[in-house]
Amino acid sequence: MNFQPTALNERVDSLDILRGFSLLGILLVNMFGFYLPLPHIDLGNWFTEAKDIIWHQTLDIYVQSSFYPLFSMLFGYGLAMQFMKAEKTGASFYKFAPKRLIILLIIGLFHAFFIWWGDILTMYAFCGFILLLFLRFGSGWLLTFGIVINGIMQVFFIGMFSLLSVANLEVEEPAVDITMINNALSAYGIGSWTDAFLQRLDDLALQMGLVMWITSLLTILPYMLIGAAFAKWRLIERGKELKILWISLTVICLALGLFIKSTPFIYNSTYLLDYLKVYVGGPILSIGYIGVVVCLCMIPVMPKLLKPLAKAGRMSLTIYIMQSIICTLIFYNFGFGLYGEVDVQMGTYIAIGLFVIQVIFAELWFTKFKQGPLELLVKKLTYR
């Protein structure tokens, strides 16, 4: 039996709304990498103006480290839904799923080498291949695997902090490579496309180093597994039925996540608090954000009001790549040349404005087409 992609009448509005919402969060975080010499600087020590520090801290608390776990869970949720659909119809899931991930990997590599060094698609495709090995397990096992794999990282790093007696020490400003910073400012700020390409290769040496691939198995794969477990329980589709659970998760995770992520700014910024902010508070807050959307979608009028966001979520791959193309044109010298020329507030406004334009674009696109352009390409290559 042939395996078919998700039909329009099979789509879950709240999942598409979550994808659209996560695209905004991802852009707000990625914006720093478009106009500043990342990954060669530490954002926590880069800004000197009070306004920039406040804006960065606000984004650090509400956005940073909370949207990649969210999108990872959605990725796992979607892959598990396809697996369950294949089981139900008797189709061969493993005939098509690896092919789709290979196509995603190729798109990610093209994106990384020729558009922007901060690509995440390659890591998602890589972890997706590992996830395929787990999808045959039940929801309880998937959740257990996710928690255990992530727990290994938590125990290791917190244990290392204790052994080295640095947990409660205040974070020192890390050493930076001035040469690499100047090279990035020159290549992207005043250089040609070729200069930017050569600098991108240097940046990718850090972004896609061996450590990053290993780290992705501890920081991305666990959330994919948790998302797959949620899918097998159909937690989002059964939102109204599980109303008490979702309201409780939303309140607890929002409060706890925001508190943990705020502690380095409320108290002294120590190595332990900084670690907990990123790797504990971030994921907890992401579950709170999922809960907010699920609870909103229980209100009859909200799915219709949030439909434009859902349409952006339906073409998430296209929107993601489009963000990189537009932002490199805005900031790099072969475009408008604003690299290093905007502050955090302006960068945030640009991100929000761009996303609003993309939502409008998605609304117009779906008046004539049923899928986004890149989504259609992936479909054609996968299912022929």
Q: Is 228 a member of any domain?
A: yes
Q: Is 351 a member of any domain?
A: yes
Pair of tokens at residue 193: 């496309």
Mean pLDDT of 245-273: 95
| Percent of the chain topping pLDDT 70 | 97
Beta bridge partners of 270: 170
Q: Is 2 a member of any domain?
A: no
pLDDT in tens, 66-79: 999 999 999 999 99
Count of structural domains within the chain: 1
Q: Is 284 a member of any domain?
A: yes
* CB-based burial label for 332 (10 Å; 0-12, 13-18, 19+): buried
Domain boundaries, position 50: 8-383
Pair of tokens at residue 229: 């477990």
pLDDT of residue 1: 46
Q: Is 3 a member of any domain?
A: no
166 vs 151: which has the higher pLDDT: 151
pLDDT of residue 344: 98
Q: Is 1 a member of any domain?
A: no
- Residue 9, pLDDT above cutoff 60: no
Q: Is 104 a member of any domain?
A: yes
- Residue 61, pLDDT above cutoff 70: yes
* CB-based burial label for 336 (10 Å; 0-12, 13-18, 19+): exposed
> Do residues 359 and 311 touch, judged by C-beta distance below 8 A?
yes
Quote the CA–CA distance of 158 and 152 in Å, as a whole number. 10
pLDDT of residue 163: 78
pLDDT in tens, 87-132: 998 888 999 999 999 999 999 999 999 999 999 999 999 999 999 9
Which amino acid, one-letter code, is at 172?
E
Mean pLDDT of 166-192: 87
- pLDDT range class, residue 5, cuts 50, 70, 90: low
pLDDT in tens, 204-241: 998 998 999 999 999 999 999 999 999 999 999 999 99
Q: Is 148 a member of any domain?
A: yes
Average pLDDT, the chain: 93
Q: Crossing angle, helix 243-266 and helix 282-296, to 10 degrees?
A: 140
Helices and strands in the chain: count of H runs, count of E runs:
19, 0
- pLDDT range class, residue 158, cuts 50, 70, 90: confident
Q: Which of 61, 59, 39 is nearest to 51 (CA)?
A: 59
Pair of tokens at residue 375: 């989504």
pLDDT in tens, 292-340: 999 999 999 999 999 999 999 999 999 999 999 999 999 999 999 999 9
Beta bridge partners of 170: 270
Quote the CA–CA distance of 372 and 381 in Å, as a whole number. 14
Mean pLDDT of 356-363: 98
- Residue 3, pLDDT above cutoff 70: no
**Model pTM score:** 0.93
